[in-house]
Structure 1
Amino acid sequence: MVSGIHHITAITRKIQANVDFYVGFLGLRLVKRTAGYEDADQLHLLYGDAAASPGSLITFLAWEDGSPGRVGLGQPAEIALAIKPEAIGFWLTRALTQNIATSGPAQEFGEPVLRLKDPDGIIVKLVGEADVDGPAPHVTKDIAAADAIQRIRGATIFSEKPAETAAFIADHFGYRTVAAANGITRLAGESADVLDIRDASGFWTSAPGTGTIDHIALRAPDRSAVEALAARLSTEGAGETNMHDRKYFYSLYAREPGGALLEYATDGPGMTVDEPLEALGEKLFVPRHFRADPEDVRARLPQFSLPGEERMTERDLPFIHRVHRSETPDGTAVVLLHGTGGNEASLLPFGTKLAPNAVLLSPRGRSLDEGYPRFFRRLTAVTFDQKDIAGEAEAFAAFMEGANAAYGLDPDRTLFVGYSNGANMIGAIMLLHPGIIRNAVLLRGMNVLETVPEADLSGANVLMVTGQSDPYRAYAGELEAHLKAAGASVENRLLAAGHDIGPADLEVARAYRERILG
């Protein structure tokens, strides 16, 4: 084992576009997909060469709702990937034909460099490195071995303390200064990769967020080396460090004097510890410490398609939403409306258990209550903003019209499932916009309309599921009466439960769906 870069981790908001760029355009291999170690509902994607070699790994944390970050002081700013010098022409042509914004080639430290931007705006440099031979370049149908990315060439760090940053990395990670020019000090590791420390004095400070690089991980020979560095940094008063077992490597995090986050990670046990080489990246790994059902986590995480796979592109519609598709669709759909404090992912585990072969459409409410998403605002526990209900119901009707067309949903084969505020929204939509919703399961629903218009709900099917000890149980009957008066076929099941939903709700909802949709 020699010193060098183990991996580089950045943050993306645009998951499908990220996959298309790093796998489809750059030709890297998706070698691992995991739930985040700090947040099980955060997707983490790892790209690398054909063997997932340390020194080839580029990883991304997915923040779909994350604000864009700002590149500045105390932060890595560029990713450099090594290619053979004679491949520069291939990549320039490829970028031009695939409409990838590019600049160059230009010379940096005597090497030809082609600069690109990924979909989130992160600068990716393709560097023609003389005599480079990566351990396992990933060859695709349109990228030959001679043109393929070989490994990570390096990264750039912005620092207002460049001398201290360079000294820290040299002292603790085995790098040495090899060149300096134009405000950049170049450090090299034993594996021939480089870290460019740019003097960024006077720059604005960095801000974490999407489109930024979170950290650079440097290679450690083994766990004892990680622990020894932690002890050394502690005696030097270098600031807070923490060590983690990440299953595929053991590591610690520390900040260099300029503020950039560095990781020290072991090569082993490596990415093949739980998947054979030929199947890398096919399955989702969920860290055990969450003690979560992997299927529930998988349902909540965003889906994506690899290049060449069938995909369903999410459309720009009035509500932020998630579309979850089955590998074996049965022609039905389930629309899921969350309760207060939920979001577009909250009911997806319920939906996958309810209808594993259906297309799931899960929107996020647009009204906020103390910062939490709802489908309309409440004034008290049992009174609601009538104008907000009317406006959001109309917007939702338009949303469904667009969603039916965009995703090929059949209204007669679609079941709407709402919980609490989501169930109340479904009831209001049915009475305000008859025909939009024809089949519904209302979990803990109640009437929220002060004035109920005349409506024709002939042919509509509704199951209301009420908790026996639910404090809102007394209000459910009014909604049932209004729906029946409008001509809907309404069933009401009373469960030994409170306001929360559980397995019993799933059981009765599944049986109802099978009965009305087959």
Structure 2
Amino acid sequence: MRPVLGLHHITAIAGSAQGNLDFYAGVLGLRLVKRSVNQDDPGTYHLFYADAEGRPGTDLTFFPWEHLAPGRKGVGLTVEVQLAVPQGSLAYWENRLGRYGVPLGAPEVRFGERALPFRDPDGLELALVETAPRPFSPWEKGGVPEKHQIMGLHGARVWEQALGPTERFLDSLGFSYVGHQDGWRRYALAPGGSGGFLDIKELPQAPRGRWGVGSVHHLAWRVEDLEHQMEVRRMVLSQGIPATRSIDRFWFRSVYFSEPGGVVFELATDGPGFAVDEDPAHLGERLVLPPWLEPRRAQIEAGLPPLELPQPRHERV
């Protein structure tokens, strides 16, 4: 079986849709590359943020369920999303985030890389991590200088009640153990590097986590195409883990399952991509629905709050 290729996207749960947009597009300077709805619950948005091109591996997405209770941090959930930034840019980000009142943690060094933990307005835990250059298309309208822009998803951190079953499963996906630090064990896909690893902390006595506002819903891993997706799905099923059929999300195809510790994983194909139904120059500017939801457009639009793209918030370099 071919291994998975790295992170495709990470999906989290937000409260206010406009507040989420203001923070990720306005403060962090990411591009809103797709403004759509949750295809399983069309009464809420699905907002996709990425680099200028919307390439797989740069995509952080949100379901804004404003009336959902806050999540509970615990085992079986992703507890932090890491975003890659260029080396030497943390001072810029510490200043920028501080100016907008973003709750910051103390800078630290993780596996040889400098990191700045912080929280978004809903309490989602994130970290900016300085890393070597990687494939990335800068977004000139985000208000952040290109030399400091977020380049994509760096990695994720999860808590598990028992490490062994998850470790063996990650090995089946193509991950290898590469080291430990401060109770965290890192697993990486060859050849390693930004976007291709997962950090795990084993906490046998910790309570189970619970989805809610400010928590991560699932981690999506890249596969090349439908054939590759089916190879990995067969492996998952062979281990006695239930997995969905391949679901057409229009911009990619998805298979969902829970790894042995309970974290929801997705296998997402690299294509066809976000430009399949929009001009690349105008991604995210209007509500886009997959063809099977178009007949319900008027009803869907009537139930969604209005959204306004924030003005870029420029800072001195």
TM over 0.5: yes
Q: Is there any run of 5+ residues in structure 2 with no aligned partner, and where? A: 313-317
- % identical aligned pairs: 35
Amino acid at match of 1:181: Q
Alignment check: 8 A CA contact 2:254 2:267 kept? yes
| Corresponding residue of 1:184 | 184
* Residue 43 of structure 2 corresponds to residue 41 of structure 1: yes
| Corresponding residue of 1:51 | 53
Name the SS of the counterpart of 1:170 in structure 2. Answer: helix
Deviation per CA, 1:250-283, whole angstroms, max 9, x where unpaired?
A: 1201111101000011000011110121011112
Amino acid at match of 1:51: E
Name the SS of the counterpart of 2:221 in structure 1. Answer: strand
| Corresponding residue of 1:321 | none
- The equivalent position to 2:272 in structure 1, one of 253, 269, 272, is 269
Amino acid at match of 2:122: D
Name the SS of the counterpart of 1:284 in structure 2. Answer: coil
| Structure with the higher strand share, 1 or 2 | 2
Deviation per CA, 1:192-235, whole angstroms, max 9, x where unpaired?
A: 22210111221111111111100000000110111222222223
Distance 1:2 1:40, change over 3 A: closer
* Residue 94 of structure 2 corresponds to residue 92 of structure 1: yes
| Structure with the higher helix share, 1 or 2 | 1
| Corresponding residue of 1:456 | none
> 2: distance between equivalents of 1:81 and 1:140?
19
| Corresponding residue of 1:26 | 28
Aligned-residue RMSD, C-alpha: 1.8
> Shift of the alpha carbon at 1:42?
1.5
> 2: distance between equivalents of 1:48 and 1:37?
20
| Corresponding residue of 1:120 | 122
Deviation per CA, 1:456-479, whole angstroms, max 9, x where unpaired?
A: xxxxxxxxxxxxxxxxxxxxxxxx
Deviation per CA, 1:70-95, whole angstroms, max 9, x where unpaired?
A: 12111111100011120011001111
Deviation per CA, 1:374-422, whole angstroms, max 9, x where unpaired?
A: xxxxxxxxxxxxxxxxxxxxxxxxxxxxxxxxxxxxxxxxxxxxxxxxx
Alignment check: 8 A CA contact 1:3 1:175 kept? no
- The equivalent position to 1:253 in structure 2, one of 246, 256, 262, is 256
| Corresponding residue of 2:215 | 212
> 1: distance between equivalents of 2:281 and 2:110?
37
Alignment check: 8 A CA contact 1:165 1:197 kept? no
- The equivalent position to 1:60 in structure 2, one of 21, 46, 62, is 62
Amino acid at match of 1:86: G
- The equivalent position to 2:290 in structure 1, one of 287, 291, 315, is 287
Q: Which residues in structure 2 correspond to 1:27-426 (within 5 Å)?
A: 27-129=29-131, 131-140=132-141, 142-172=143-173, 174-190=174-190, 192=193, 193=195, 194-290=197-293, 292-308=295-311
| Corresponding residue of 1:446 | none
Name the SS of the counterpart of 1:42 in structure 2. Answer: strand
Amino acid at match of 1:107: V
Structure possessing the higher radius of gyration over alpha carbons: 1
> Shift of the alpha carbon at 1:20?
1.1
> 2: distance between equivalents of 1:4 and 1:88?
24
> Shift of the alpha carbon at 1:291?
6.1
> 2: distance between equivalents of 1:237 and 1:208?
24
Amino acid at match of 2:284: G
Alignment check: 8 A CA contact 2:17 2:45 kept? no
Q: Is there any run of 5+ residues in structure 1 with no aligned partner, and where? A: 310-518
Amino acid at match of 1:248: W
Question: May I ask how many residue pairs the two structures share in their alignment?
Answer: 307
> 2: distance between equivalents of 1:267 and 1:291?
24
> 1: distance between equivalents of 2:152 and 2:171?
22
Distance 1:72 1:242, change over 3 A: farther
> 1: distance between equivalents of 2:115 and 2:137?
22
> Shift of the alpha carbon at 1:126?
0.3
> 1: distance between equivalents of 2:217 and 2:12?
5
Higher relative contact order (CA 8 A, sep 6+): 2
Amino acid at match of 1:66: L
